[in-house]
Structure 1
Amino acid sequence: MAPDVPAAQPLISSDVEAVLAAAGGLVAGLPLGREYRVLRRILEGTRAGVAVLDTELRFLYVNPRMARVDGLPAEAHLGRTLTDVLPGVHHAEQVLREVLRDGRPRQLVATGFTHAPSPPARRVWRATYHRLEDEHGRIVGLVGVALEITEPSQYLRELERAQQRMALLDTAVTRIGTTLDVEATCAELADFVVPGLADAAGVELFQQDRPSGRRGTPPGVMRLRRAAASFAPQLRSALREIGAIGVSMEYEAGSPIRRRLDAGESWMHDLSAGDVPEGPYAGRVARYRALGVHSLLITPLGTEDRLLGTLSMIRAGPSPSFTREDAVVAKELAARAARALDRAVRYARDHAMALELQRALLTEPTVPHPNLETAFRYLPADDTTVVGGDWFDALALSRDRNLLVIGDVMGHGVEAAVAMSHYRSMMRALADTGLQPHEMLQHADRMVADAGFDRVATCLVALGDPHANTVSYANAGHLPPLRLTPQGHPEIVPLPVGPPLGTGFGSYETVTRPGVPGGTLLLYTDGLVERRDEDIDESLRRLTRLRLSPRDSLDKIVDDVLAQLMSGPAEDDVAVLAARVHRLTRH
């Protein structure tokens, strides 16, 4: 329906006195005149933008506030549609037509930019539209009242993004560093940032130079090796080759990336720009561009005292480019992840050192007399537990006797492995003194306590005398031995148990049992039988249910014991020593 007033003419005059004069001198003194003046002051003084539209959604009137917001004089609005005047603002014209049709007011949110200069690239308004009718009930158009809410909306968006960042960082604590494995920790970090922060990510760690005879790292060049990578599904096939695990990354001294990393800062690059970093990185940039990658962000992974590597992230396709805000989040995330990664790196180094020391010390035991056959195994714990201090030995003594020793130092790591070597050396020295088994343990206990050594150890000694056909035992807090009879029956040898070595209060007893001609004696550490959720008595009963053949070789018997008792990776170190007596050879 067409409006009753011309679209190109103002609906409300800006000249109040002229309007009142045209209406007749008497009108100026009546309440109607006063009401008109009040209406003008309200419309011109309000901070809300007010506009009147005709039934074709063309401007009939805008108040001064609306004109300032739009950046155009009021006269430039008249007779033109919303889209004509403000092409940069999204208007839900269909909703406005529904207000004209049913008369029910609507509240809308409009976004965009106007002709007025404004810092934000996109502004936000909340407007309410009402239908206008004349005194005869005819529809003449709409009146809209709008308030700009750009700053509150920006604040809410910033608050929401801040909350998302905090949630992201808080979640990282529980998702990254769940193991002490370096590769697994790197994979957790890469998987965590995709797709929440990037379309693809890689974690690179410092790479040692190649062995001699092959090309090493050039002087001044930082070489990293990709330890983990993660890709959004749409990029997996395209980036698999250049983002593969194991590839090397090199950053020359003085390059833009290297300068940022050396300063502990992130490096961000927009590939849509024409500049390309110099050095080996330039070739990768060209390949990235060919695959639709447009934004890169490389963040150092380091602790307060050392740089471990980098976290590299990319965005491609429709994803927005990285921003300074993203760089701040990535840097904080990398700092938290670096602490977990540093623990894993230090653990890997300490574990390798302890394991190497343990294996070096657990060389083949001293060769016993020919009348005793031995077999042994040492299994380090699974990587989730640091290597321990298990040890064993077989020593040849005078009068054809043989001494078997097995022990377990409290604790784990390099310190436990070093302590194990002290205990082993001490027991070897005591074996040559001719002492009885309980006297050996008493001397060892006192020597350790007097030395102030803070690593106690369990220890079991078994002294075999083939002439008397006996085995004499003494036990310092260790598990009892297992005897396999010539008929194939496994039996626990019951022994009194004294305190572990190193307490200084040791009181031990030698117990002599008949030998086992044709049978097998098995000494072991607790890692073979103990389980976290099982009583130790039940663990020992499992030993008596082993199915073993006494006629098998000792190596076969030991392997069968491990196969039947070890269903998975060892929770603790395992040491097993098996011995079998042969008939004496007379000369």
Structure 2
Amino acid sequence: MAGGHESSLRPTPADPLDPGGSSELGVDAAPQLSALRSAVRIGSTLDEDTTYAELIREVAGQVGGSAAVLRLVAGTLSQYEDVAGDPALLPAPWWTAAASQQVAGQTGDGSPRPVVGHAGRALCVPLAVPGHCYGVLVSAREETPFTEAETQVVAFLAELAASHVRHAREYDAVSGMVGKLQRALLSEPGRPHPNLDVAIRYLPAGQNALIGGDWCETVRLHFGRTLLVVGDVMGHGLEAAVDMNAYRSSLRYIASADLPPHRVLRQLDDLASDEPERRPATCLVAQVDPNRGQVTLASAGHLPPAVIDGAGRASLLRVPVGPPLGTGLGGYESTTYRLDPSQTVLLFTDGLVERRGEDIDQSLQRLADVGFDAAPAVDDVLDTTLARLDARHAEDDVAILAARLHHRSPPAHGGR
């Protein structure tokens, strides 16, 4: 049709569908019921590209021939891209451009009307909602002209698709604002002392989320010590991220007093319990002291850490577990382990190991069974852990921190 003769453009009035059995034109209800079945297959996602693909597939299936969408970008129509049916049946671009201008020039309070051309064998239908036009739908076939009922069906599906496109764009706009706020909340952890190697990773669950309630933090203390913290606010989404930021801010303030881990948790719990709207959180605090070669740990309802020895064997450390933060119950205790430069401490949130329908002991055992190379770098420890536990397909957010003491060179004694 692209090479066919020139034809006049005429708007066709579009009446609403009447699913009750007949329209004002007295047409049979079967095509209208078929259109309603097509309608439920358009807008299955909040993705604009998918909506257009569903629209042209259903239109081509309803009236035969071919269908395509030309998007309106910066006031200009795009070229034919995705096409359902035979692209050769589509009218020449000059006709589509002229038809689109006629659609844009229509006035009145009602929806823009379809434009018919090429002896009734081509339709140009606006993809518009009040105040916005996203482009046009073009449908064409080779022989039989479109009937009035078919024109109404195509116009109905185009109007429905335009409504879904509006929702998709509104969703994208809101998601963009949420993403900016989430990135603002996700401040970088502090810097540990140079005598400690630390690596941190955060993996949000799902494709749309950027951050939830999982977090890691490092705080420099006096005498070369570093506080390592991992936490998990209950819930997901922006609300959990806001509470996560409150816990992190409180932690940095409390850590400045250089308290042992169990007292850090006690003060965090007191602050959180004074704010009824703040969500509870689990938390694991580890104070690493390179000078003494030890790590002191305390837990607020959090999973235990793992330690990886120089041969690459992983084991879980037993830590007294107190109630989650925000309950006001307190009752936290610390425990201390020896730590040498051949060992790597691994702190993580439950998204790393927990799987639906699996006992938590079994989940933790899968972590303990991960084999590591002998004395790997901390970044390699994280890469291996995330890969072996398939953390990128986890059902929950994952925050993980690996830390190891630097090897110390023996002091030079000279000739004495």
Shorter-normalised TM range: 0.7 to 0.9
Question: In the alignment, what sits opposite 1:537?
Answer: 361
Question: In the alignment, what sits opposite 1:258?
Answer: 104
Question: In the alignment, what sits opposite 2:284?
Answer: 460
Of 391, 394, 397, which aligns to 1:573? 397
Which amino acid counterpart does residue 317 of structure 2 have in structure 1?
V
Question: In the alignment, what sits opposite 1:396?
Answer: 220
Report matched runs for 1:183-262 at 5 Å. Answer: 183-197=49-63, 199-203=65-69, 207=73, 217=74, 222=75, 229-232=82-85, 234-235=86-87, 255-260=101-106
Describe the SS at the equivalent of 1:320.
coil
**Unaligned 5+ runs, structure 2:** 1-21, 412-416
Report matched runs for 1:77-476 at 5 Å. Answer: 158-169=28-39, 172=40, 175-197=41-63, 199-203=65-69, 207=73, 217=74, 222=75, 229-232=82-85, 234-235=86-87, 255-260=101-106, 263=109, 265-272=111-118, 294-302=121-129, 307=132, 309-310=134-135, 312-321=137-146, 323=148, 325-326=149-150, 328-330=152-154, 332-334=156-158, 336-337=160-161, 340-362=164-186, 364-383=188-207, 387-476=211-300
Describe the SS at the equivalent of 1:459.
strand
How many Å separate the matches in 1 of 2:162 and 2:327?
40
How many Å separate the matches in 2 of 1:308 and 1:168?
22
* Alpha-carbon displacement from aligned partner over 1:333-379 (angstroms, at most 9, x marks no partner): 45654565455444434444444444455454221111111112223
- When residues 398 and 181 of structure 1 are mapped into structure 2, their CA distance, relative to the original with a 3 A threshold, is farther
* 1:488 to partner: Cα distance: 1.4
- When residues 296 and 543 of structure 1 are mapped into structure 2, their CA distance, relative to the original with a 3 A threshold, is same
Identity of paired residues, percent? 38
- When residues 510 and 206 of structure 1 are mapped into structure 2, their CA distance, relative to the original with a 3 A threshold, is farther
Which amino acid counterpart does residue 146 of structure 2 have in structure 1?
S
- When residues 364 and 312 of structure 1 are mapped into structure 2, their CA distance, relative to the original with a 3 A threshold, is same
* 1:397 to partner: Cα distance: 0.5
- Residue 125 of structure 2 contacts residue 155 of structure 2 at CA under 8 Å; is this kept in 1? no
How many Å separate the matches in 1 of 2:348 and 2:176?
24
What CA RMSD, in Å, does the superposition of the two structures yield over aligned residues?
3.8
Which amino acid counterpart does residue 411 of structure 1 have in structure 2?
G
How many Å separate the matches in 1 of 2:205 and 2:271?
29
Describe the SS at the equivalent of 1:309.
strand
- Residue 266 of structure 1 contacts residue 327 of structure 1 at CA under 8 Å; is this kept in 2? no
- When residues 369 and 338 of structure 1 are mapped into structure 2, their CA distance, relative to the original with a 3 A threshold, is same
* 1:433 to partner: Cα distance: 1.7
* 1:439 to partner: Cα distance: 2.4
* 1:384 to partner: Cα distance: 5.6
* Alpha-carbon displacement from aligned partner over 1:229-269 (angstroms, at most 9, x marks no partner): 3311x33x676997xxxxxx9999xx532255995614311
* Alpha-carbon displacement from aligned partner over 1:381-439 (angstroms, at most 9, x marks no partner): 33265642322111111121111111223333333333332222221111112222222
TM-score by length of 2: 0.77
Describe the SS at the equivalent of 2:403.
strand
Deviates most, 345-354 or 470-479: 345-354
- Residue 386 of structure 1 contacts residue 412 of structure 1 at CA under 8 Å; is this kept in 2? no
- Residue 307 of structure 2 contacts residue 317 of structure 2 at CA under 8 Å; is this kept in 1? yes
How many Å separate the matches in 1 of 2:269 and 2:99?
57
Which amino acid counterpart does residue 60 of structure 2 have in structure 1?
V
- When residues 162 and 344 of structure 1 are mapped into structure 2, their CA distance, relative to the original with a 3 A threshold, is closer
- Residue 389 of structure 1 contacts residue 408 of structure 1 at CA under 8 Å; is this kept in 2? yes
- Residue 297 of structure 1 contacts residue 327 of structure 1 at CA under 8 Å; is this kept in 2? no
Aligned residues: 386
Question: In the alignment, what sits opposite 2:414?
Answer: none
- When residues 313 and 272 of structure 1 are mapped into structure 2, their CA distance, relative to the original with a 3 A threshold, is closer
- Residue 460 of structure 1 contacts residue 474 of structure 1 at CA under 8 Å; is this kept in 2? yes
Describe the SS at the equivalent of 1:257.
helix
How many Å separate the matches in 1 of 2:295 and 2:89?
70
Question: In the alignment, what sits opposite 2:378?
Answer: 554
* Alpha-carbon displacement from aligned partner over 1:71-125 (angstroms, at most 9, x marks no partner): xxxxxxxxxxxxxxxxxxxxxxxxxxxxxxxxxxxxxxxxxxxxxxxxxxxxxxx
Question: In the alignment, what sits opposite 2:351?
Answer: 527
Describe the SS at the equivalent of 1:560.
helix
- Residue 199 of structure 1 contacts residue 313 of structure 1 at CA under 8 Å; is this kept in 2? no
- Residue 268 of structure 1 contacts residue 298 of structure 1 at CA under 8 Å; is this kept in 2? yes
How many Å separate the matches in 2 of 1:497 and 1:156?
75
How many Å separate the matches in 2 of 1:463 and 1:241?
72
Relative contact order, CA 8 A, sep 6+: which one is greater? 2
* 1:504 to partner: Cα distance: 3.8
Question: In the alignment, what sits opposite 2:6?
Answer: none
- Residue 182 of structure 2 contacts residue 210 of structure 2 at CA under 8 Å; is this kept in 1? no
TM-score by length of 1: 0.57
- Residue 458 of structure 1 contacts residue 477 of structure 1 at CA under 8 Å; is this kept in 2? yes
Describe the SS at the equivalent of 1:517.
coil
How many Å separate the matches in 2 of 1:250 and 1:482?
69
* Alpha-carbon displacement from aligned partner over 1:311-352 (angstroms, at most 9, x marks no partner): 5131221253263x4454445545654565455444434444
**Unaligned 5+ runs, structure 1:** 1-151, 208-216, 243-248, 274-292
